[in-house]
Structure 1
Amino acid sequence: MSTRAGRHPQLPPPRADRDADAPAYAIALVCLGNICRSPTAHVVLEAALRDAGLGDRVAVSSGGTGGWHVGDPIDRRAAATLDGAGYDPSGPRAEQVDASWFSRHDLVLAMDTDNLADLRGLAHEAGRTGVEVGPERLRLFRDFDPALEVVEEQPGTVFSPPARERVVPDPYYGGDEGFTRVLEMVERTSAELSTQAASLLPS
């Protein structure tokens, strides 16, 4: 199928039903246990947003679809990788995502397809309470990775590359090189998200 009519995914606008005292925009980053991939992305995206002058306008959260690490700090290997690259990894503590996250965030980004499937189940729960979660508000984190040249014809309908190539692989059971690879993916994608946020939320 031709993708000539497509475009790179764009940040959706802020939710119309947001609280009056909410930040201008809110992004949630989700993996399995919230100790490796999503907190790494949390730290890096917050830094990118601060550098863009958006640190007080865009809120970043991270969580896991599973709850067994709730309250734990970031994995020591992920922390060491972040520290070695000049980031402060001390902030995030593991949380578990629930359906209420969809009313509190404008965009929820999953690290892999299993996370995305779990989040779709929670989005269905949110829908039963009147919170609309369109496909443009729930997607894979690396849909925004500029190295992948992701193209879609309609918001949430991605034609290339396939989903299995748009994941952030879980480094938990591997060596240090896996954490380095995750950081590289996260830095590229966070830079793109920050750039798009600056365009979406002009000063």
Structure 2
Amino acid sequence: MIRILLVEDQSIVRQGLKMIIEQDQQLKVVGEAENGLEAIKRLEHQHVDIILMDIRMPIMNGIEATHKIKQRWPFMKILILTTFNDEEYAINTLKEGASGFLLKTSDGPKLIHSIKSCLDGGIAIHDQVAAKVMPKLLDKPIEKEKSTSIPLTPREITITRLIGQGKTNKEISSELFLSIGTVKNHITQILLKLELRDRTQLAIFAVKNDLY
């Protein structure tokens, strides 16, 4: 059973999301919060596998909450629920370690697929959001590096490229004919070599270095 924490300040939206999510028998909403601070308090006493979190909330918004949660629970998966007006917020939450962005207008199958993709190690970004967000993530001038100057083995560069394409561990395992455990070990070594915090930062690294 996949345990989910819903963080959204509008009760009616939480109710709708819960109904959609629990159509899948593998998914269960085990907690709800109206803001980031309340979410953190719940996490101190309740185990969850993934958080679905709004950005604009009173008391503590989604950006600050993502930052604080990833500091205390670095492996926690956070899927941001966003609107077109939240592009800059969405960029900041990705930089803080969120596992993806989903528009609130998404349908049920898309929401359920995104939750499972994040838990499988993927980065779920709604196509319409990605089209707006990714160029802004890359708007700072950077000196493009050649693959040979990156301190990774050819296999590690291939895995980094696939992560930049949004592939999950399972998809990488299948494509490279490796066990999922081996893929995870490679990713751990890549993060150590590049001094990156998590998979999201690695995906951004891949895009910035043309490894996608």
Tell me if TM exceeds 0.5: no
TM-score w.r.t. the length of structure 2 is: 0.30
